[in-house]
Chains A and B, each alone.
Chain A
């Protein structure tokens, strides 16, 4: 399978704990995006990388959130001191240049 993969698919954590998600993009894609999707809503843009450089961050990305893309390959999204409001589906997408984004299956986070 050469699509975008995300791990884990599901994560249940207690409030206050830290969590980290991983996204592996399609191998030749230089752009990588993170989105958050809450129930009944469309995905909301969080951040975007071109190769290893993080070029844009949404105001939704509080200081508890951090994303990295070392060496321009896979990316990680970490949430520190999780809150119940962080419960959502976290989606990763990759693209070659700026047109079509290919989405992964997402990581569903539940904060108890």
Chain B
């Protein structure tokens, strides 16, 4: 069985500061890893994904994440936060093939302080 742990239900950073959202996973096989963003009353939008190959993946809106197998982590970063980044962020994992759908973490609410 797979599981995802997101440390910190709320993270607050100042505009222009580094954003770091943490995600650790548990999986019996090398997983696919995803970060999604959800704005209020909207569906989820994919920020980035890791399947195979390069462990540092770049996504939309300046976000990137690094797959570290030894640490079973897939932390999301952005060098400089913008006010528009305020949203709920979800880390998710799936087995290759996706037959069981995605397993999501509980989410991290990102707050941007002016």
Contact = CB atoms under 8 A, between A and B. Distances in A.
A41 B106 CA distance: 5
Nearest to A99: B51
Interface residues of B, number: 27
A100 interface: yes
Interface residues of A, number: 28
B98 A42 contact: no
A53 B32 CA distance: 24
B101 A4 contact: no
B43 to A, nearest CB: 4
Interface of B: 4, 9, 32, 36, 41-46, 49, 51, 90, 92, 94, 96-107
Given A42-B104, A101-B102, 18 more contacts: A31-B98, A41-B107, A42-B90, A42-B105, A43-B104, A44-B104, A45-B103, A48-B101, A56-B100, A91-B43, A91-B44, A97-B98, A98-B32, A98-B96, A98-B99, A100-B46, A104-B43, A105-B42
Interface of A: 4, 31, 33, 35, 40-46, 48, 55-56, 58, 91, 93, 95, 97-106
